[in-house]
Amino acid sequence: MSNKSKNMNYAKALKSIREEQKITQVVAAKRAGISQTYLSQLEGNTKKCPSKSMIAKLAKVYKVPPVIITMSAIEKADVPTKKKGLYDALKPVIDSMIKMVVTGEVK
């Protein structure tokens, strides 16, 4: 991952998506071929930013495009100062769209 993405909140995004789909850590980890401890560390932000391949594995488990996880991880602090107004305007719409994909309303 690039230096820009290291500040993104993948922990919050991964946990939120998993919980929205009502999948336990144990089940998600098993489906991804990783330990529940490792997934817990990713979700608890005690591990560094997940690799692109790990994001892809978890995206497959959650049946969402990997970009959905990345978009969910973006926070206001990740956005350049000049773009924060645009972020504020678009964030509710993006969050709504992400929720629709995560819950299966839109594919």
State the Cα–Cα distance between residues 62 and 66, nearest whole angstrom: 10
35-73 pLDDT, tens digit each: 999 999 999 988 888 999 999 999 999 999 999 999 999
Distance CA 97, CA 99 (A): 5
Residue with tokens 């959650």: 62
The C-alpha atoms of residue 107 and residue 28 are separated, in whole angstroms, by: 20
| CA 47 centroid distance within chain | 14
The reported pLDDT for the residue numbered 33 is: 97
